[in-house]
Amino acid sequence: MNSNKNIEIVVVKDAKEGGKKAFELVKQSLEDGMKVIGLPTGSTPETMYAELRNSDLDFSNVTAINLDEYIGLPADHEQSYAHFMKEELYDTKPFKETHIPDGLASEEEETARYNKVIEDNPIDLQILGIGTNAHLGFNEPGSSFDSLTEKVELTEDTIEANKRFFESADEVPRYAYSMGLASIMSADKILLLAYGENKAEAIANAVNGPVTEEVPASILQKHKDVVFIIDEDAASKL
């Protein structure tokens, strides 16, 4: 099943159970003194965020750094990731600081600023989703394993996957700022969440395939401490 020794795989029956397991891991990290957490957006982490919102966990000494943001959307746009994070977590749970790329800032300034944020706040626990094409954040196939925060062009696959959140595919932003793969790999511990059969191939390639920039998530095989929480459907090709 899992020939890769660095990646611990926890198979759950559904996203609800996955959210509970992820919550336990976040709670454990807090108890172990976590100061900085890296957070994802999208539908995958929603069950985990629900568990965190409804808990008595205290994040007032924790800094949160988000993976990515669409370019061209103001923070108060209802499809911006800044808005998503406020709704899902930040309005309920106060953090010491929260950081998310500014989708309206210029590329040169914003990538430099965000890289400095990550450099100044080494990530203890980085939580990730995974795209059907095995992207992490918006690091699409072909992204350099050495990448830091950068402006990325979204693939047609990603635009297609995200258009359900917009009126039409034409409204989906074409670019985003994303934490790079080297930035993600700098985290002390990594937790990846994936649910559904459409993620099964990406999971299999990430865990057991060759480490290649064509499968961005395959870089996780090189990390010292990775946990995958996936449902039975996402695990079906392992």
Helix (H, G, I), strand (E, B), or coil: what is residue 119? helix
Which listed residue (140, 150, 231, 233) is catalytic?
140
Helix (H, G, I), strand (E, B) or coil at 85: helix
Query: Is residue 213 annotated as a catalytic residue, yes or no?
Result: no
Query: What is the helix, strand, coil percentage profile of the chain, to 5?
Result: 35, 20, 45
- CA–CA separation, 190 and 38 (whole Å): 9
Distance in angstroms (rounded) separating the CA atoms of residues 198 and 42: 15
Q: What is the distance between the alpha carbons of residues 38 and 126, in angstroms, rounded to a whole number?
A: 4
133 is catalytic: yes
Question: In the chain, count of helices (H) and strands (E)?
Answer: 7, 10
The active-site residue, picked from 121, 135, 139, 150, is 135
Task: Identify whether 69 is a catalytic site residue.
Answer: no
Residue 61 annotated in active site: no
> Which entry of 51, 66, 68, 150 is annotated as an active-site residue?
68
Q: Which of 133, 139, 162, 205 is catalytic?
A: 133
Catalytic residues: 68, 133, 135, 140
